[in-house]
Amino acid sequence: MYKVKSPNFENCQVGLSHTGKIEKVSNAFASWVGKAPNDLVGENFRPFFLSLEKSWGLLLPKAFFRKDFECFFPLSPESHKSSIGIHFQNICYSNNSVISLSPALAPHDSLKKAFMGDLMDDPRALANALIRLQKAESRLSDYISNFPGIFFTQRPDMTFSYLSRGIKKLFPDEHNELARNGGLFLSKIYEKDREHFHKELNTNGKSNETFSFTYRITIPPNGQIIYLLDVRTPIITATQKLLGYDGVFVDITRQAIAEHRLSNAVWREGLATLTNGLVHDFSNLMAGIYSISELYFGMMEKDDPMAKGMGQIKKSAMQAQKLVRRIIDLHREKPASRTIHDLRLLLKDQMDLVDIIIPRSARVTTNFGTNSIPAFIEETGFRQVILNLVINARDAIDRTGKIQISLKKVSTGDPIMKGAIGKKTKAPVDGAELALSDNGKGIPEEIQGKLFDPFVTTKASGSGSGFGLYNTKVFIEDHNGLIGFATKKDEGTTFFLFIPLETDEEEGSVNYLKSTKRATRAFVKTKKI
């Protein structure tokens, strides 16, 4: 004889034919009765159910499966001693019916008698039970409140029957409306991810298996984009009707950023391996061209008509070696340590790559001044920042557009970032202001407030990662600098970078000047590859 116990809160359901035979059972029901689902198919449900507890025969009609039926079945034959039992509900359809079973408290009168019986044995039983219940409820509440995620129960129409307190952190003003407005929830999903969201639900929403997927949502007040891990389990009846989902939302934005950086590092490592191999062959070729051109150039008279052309060949070969070295520096595995660099010379040197990136039909103008501007920075990161801004400017203009890059030294208290969105800014310390302008269409107003957030891009799908400006901001902030922009529709955009002119604290003034001179010579001297 099966020892009757209360069923769990899972989907404990049985599908019956019009003759009362079992057609299908849920895994929860099979587990409850201790049999395999296939072994139950074909059995007459009523005799099988009464074999669990004979006293139920007085409560269960013979033809209950032909009409809607609902009843409470006590776990004990002595109903007055059973405070809990089984809520039994049968819902009839045209050719079949579905039984749902769940644990439930006894009706009021029976419950009163049952508790009285318990109190007769131990007057403190009820009080102790209530205390334990309160403690368990408190622990569960604390767990849900402190869990780094949002528990939810969602209906098929995307409304919520339950949302844990964590939803208030994401949507402080809209959490109540989200529960009753499924359209509002769908509108929060990032536009490019909505198709992916619906596809996942359509693919996995008809199974009993838990599934998970990731998508982006926008949160107020400025439409910041975050990544959500959505883990949910479909709630499905024995007739395969979807009742909704139980699940949890987890903010994984930091993990997504870390994953992007890791993949970017792997890509850079692979690129460095490839370029190092190519550089060896290219270097040998350029070395030969440079040596021969230098030999012939030295043998020529200054007034030789071929001397100018040979000198140009020599210069181009030297420039090619220098350009390859810059590419290797950009994609090396480990970033360079911070040292003193002349920002003016760094920018001039970086123009070699800029000329490759920008279309020949476009116009690039520069104004870096004539005086050196030394700063304590990480070289590779600075070069990447310049390329990020140049690439964005290139994508914003047409092929005949204009890009202007300027650099100037500013003193403490001088106004900087003229025309930038936000408050007027003054230089907090002595520093350098870099401005890069384009005459493109400008930045749409709806994304201006989140422009430096990760995953945000104005480019077409697949043509931008949404990390260029984010990484630029991280670099500038790591160097205690400032970043901002000014934009006008159909007129263009200007990005401003303020970099403090910091020095290595371990170096004195003399060593500082020496380091600056060494850095300057390093940039104007071509390294042998």
DSSP 453-509: STT--SSPTTS--S-HHHHHHHHHHHTT-EEEEEEETTTEEEEEEEEE----TTS-H
The DSSP 8-state label assigned to residue 64 in this structure reads G
Output the pLDDT for position 263.
Answer: 55
> In this predicted model, what pLDDT tens digit does every residue of 71-85 receive, in sequence order?
988 877 765 555 678
The CA-CA-CA angle for residues 390, 396, 397, to 5°, reads 95
Of 283 and 16, the structure prediction assigns the larger pLDDT to 16
Could you check whether the bond before residue 221 is cis, i.e. omega within 30 degrees of 0? yes
**In the structure encoding, which two tokens stand for residue 252, read together?**
């994984």
Band of residue 1 on the pLDDT scale cut at 50, 70, 90: very low
> In this predicted model, what pLDDT tens digit does every residue of 395-408 receive, in sequence order?
888 878 999 999 99
Q: What span, in angstroms and rounded, lies between the C-alpha atoms of 389 and 391?
A: 5
pLDDT above 80 for 275: no
Q: Distance of CA 336 to CAs 2, 16, 380, 410, Å? A: 72, 72, 6, 26
Output the pLDDT for position 336.
Answer: 55
Average pLDDT estimate for 304-317: 75
Q: Distance of CA 354 to CAs 336, 359, 367, 432, Å? A: 21, 10, 15, 21
List phi, psi (to 5°) of 106.
-70, 160
Output the pLDDT for position 463.
Answer: 46
Of 405, 441, 412, give the one whose Cα is nearest residue 428: 412
Band of residue 328 on the pLDDT scale cut at 50, 70, 90: low
Output the pLDDT for position 500.
Answer: 92
Q: Distance of CA 486 to CAs 28, 88, 308, 464, Å? A: 61, 67, 45, 21
DSSP 251-318: E-HHHHHHHHHHHHHHHHHHHHHHHHHHHHHHHHHHHHHHHHHHHHHHHS-TT-TTHHHHHHHHHHHH
Q: What percent of the chain has pLDDT over 90?
A: 16
Average pLDDT estimate for 443-458: 74
Q: Position of tokens 């390294």?
A: 527
Of 396, 329, 393, give the one whose Cα is nearest residue 365: 393
User: 362: helix, coil or strand?
Assistant: coil
Q: What percent of the chain has pLDDT over 70?
A: 73
> In this predicted model, what pLDDT tens digit does every residue of 23-65 receive, in sequence order?
999 888 888 888 888 999 999 999 999 988 888 998 999 999 9
**In the structure encoding, which two tokens stand for residue 130, read together?**
């209530």
421 and 448 Cβ atoms separated by less than 8 Å: yes
Average pLDDT estimate for 404-423: 88
Average pLDDT estimate for 263-274: 55
Pairing mode, if any, of strands 12-17 and 22-25?
antiparallel
pLDDT above 70 for 413: yes
Output the pLDDT for position 272.
Answer: 57
Of 513 and 376, the structure prediction assigns the larger pLDDT to 376
**In the structure encoding, which two tokens stand for residue 160, read together?**
């919520």
**In the structure encoding, which two tokens stand for residue 214, read together?**
């990731």
The DSSP 8-state label assigned to residue 189 in this structure reads B
pLDDT above 80 for 453: no
pLDDT above 90 for 409: yes
The percent helix, strand, coil of the chain (3-state, each to 5) is 45, 25, 30
Buried b (16+ CB within 10 A) or exposed e, 89-112: ebebeeebbbbbbbeeebeeebbe
Residue 142 belongs to what H/E stretch? helix 125-146
Helix-helix angle 379-396:343-357, to 10 degrees = 40
Pairing mode, if any, of strands 363-367 and 402-410?
parallel
pLDDT above 50 for 456: yes
**In the structure encoding, which two tokens stand for residue 484, read together?**
């901002």
Average pLDDT estimate for 468-491: 87
Output the pLDDT for position 406.
Answer: 94
pLDDT above 80 for 425: yes
Output the pLDDT for position 322.
Answer: 64
> In this predicted model, what pLDDT tens digit does every residue of 62-73 receive, in sequence order?
999 989 999 988
40 and 31 Cβ atoms separated by less than 8 Å: no
Look at the chain and count its residues: 529
Output the pLDDT for position 16.
Answer: 93
Output the pLDDT for position 225.
Answer: 81
DSSP 84-134: EEEEEEEEE-SSEEEEEEEEEEPPHHHHHHHHHHHHHH-TTHHHHHHHHHH
